[in-house]
Amino acid sequence: MLTSQDIEFFVALSQSKSLAATARKLNVTPPSVSQRLQALEQKLKVKLVERGSRAISLTLEGNVLFEEGLAVLKQIELLESKVAEKNQAISGKIRVVAPVGYGTEKVSPLVAEFHKIHPLTHIELILSDTPNWTQVDPPDVVIYIGQLKDSSLNRILLEKNQRFLLASPNYLKNAAPINTPQDLLNHECLVIRENDDDVTLWKLTHKETGETTSVRISPSLMSNVGPVIKNWAVNGYGIMQRSEWNVLNEMKDNRLQVVLPEYTFPSADIVALVSSTRDKRPAKINAFVDYLKQHLSNNSTD
């Protein structure tokens, strides 16, 4: 009979590139991984894995065991969570993926504080320039900024967030006037590459008329790191498009000024992406998301 330990082992193997990688993940020797895989295949009387010289791949039967086994483990985790709720204990592993800038400045302190409140948790925070959901090794929570592309995931609003077109007073003083979106074509534009978005197509909507104008800018400077772009803008090297959360201080002390204030950009709300509805999520995930909502915004809804 297949056991939960068998499933846990095979899921860990399926999420690894090789038997050696599986051994490192499970903190055992490679021969023991190979022996356990052979025993599992003999138990089920099917071949689960194709063994290559450098990597492994799942057979059709192996893929079924991985996908269905992963669902079974989630159900077991949910059952354990519901039982644990009776004694109010929040515990277990939580994997969180977040953008580098926002994750560093705003998510990481909350992760540490949440763990301090719930010391039985083990939280892994993964920062990425392109935070997204992966089916092979799925996280528990993805923090995402901008337009949501995958509608199959549950979206929980954490923080309202606008985008602005910004430049330093010094740049604006010495540059040509900017009265319409088309004027941007004659200016130095700064671009950050993130979320695989089309970052050189700027779409601006007039606040009064509702008319939307698209401008394909040719960036003079580009980077995949937010602070680099912001420093360039503050130092007068051009115009950038950035999120409200990232530039509030610079706007307050007038190091950056809004360009074309009569126009707006598409909203870039900050959301938590999870795979299931609240009643089907483990208590640890609900508690963590609730903590983020409480400390990032008072107007979020699940």
**pLDDT tens by residue, 48-97:** 999 877 788 999 999 999 989 988 888 887 777 666 665 567 889 999 99
Tokens matching residue 122: 């083990």
Residues of the chain with pLDDT > 90: what percent? Answer: 59
**pLDDT tens by residue, 204-244:** 999 999 999 999 999 999 998 889 999 999 999 999 999 99
CATH class of 163-264: alpha beta
Q: Please state, as a whole number, how many other Cβ atoms lie within 10 Å of the Cβ of residue 159.
A: 22
CATH class of 89-161+269-296: alpha beta
Whole-Å CA distances, 24 to 17, 57, 100, 146: 11, 18, 27, 36
Q: Indicate the domain borders of the chain.
A: 4-83, 89-161+269-296, 163-264
Spatial CA neighbour of 221 closest among 242, 199, 198, 238: 238
Q: Is the pLDDT of residue 298 over 50?
A: no
Intrachain domains 4-83 and 89-161+269-296 with the same fold: no
Give me the chain's average pLDDT, please.
88
Going by the DSSP 8-state scheme, the letter that residue 54 receives in this structure is: S
Return the CATH number of 4-83, one of 2.60.200.20, 1.10.1040.10, 1.10.10.10, 3.30.70.1880.
1.10.10.10
Q: Is the pTM of this model over 0.85?
A: no
Q: Is the pLDDT of residue 166 over 70?
A: yes
Whole-Å CA distances, 201 to 156, 184, 193, 219: 27, 12, 12, 10
Partners of 96 in the β-ladder: 125, 141
Instruction: Please report, as a single letter, which amino acid is at residue 35.
Output: Q
Give ∠ CA 109-157-117 in degrees, rounded to 5: 35
The predicted pLDDT at position 2 comes to 87
The predicted pLDDT at position 135 comes to 59
Whole-Å CA distances, 80 to 77, 277, 283: 5, 17, 9
pLDDT bracket for residue 151 (50, 70, 90)? low
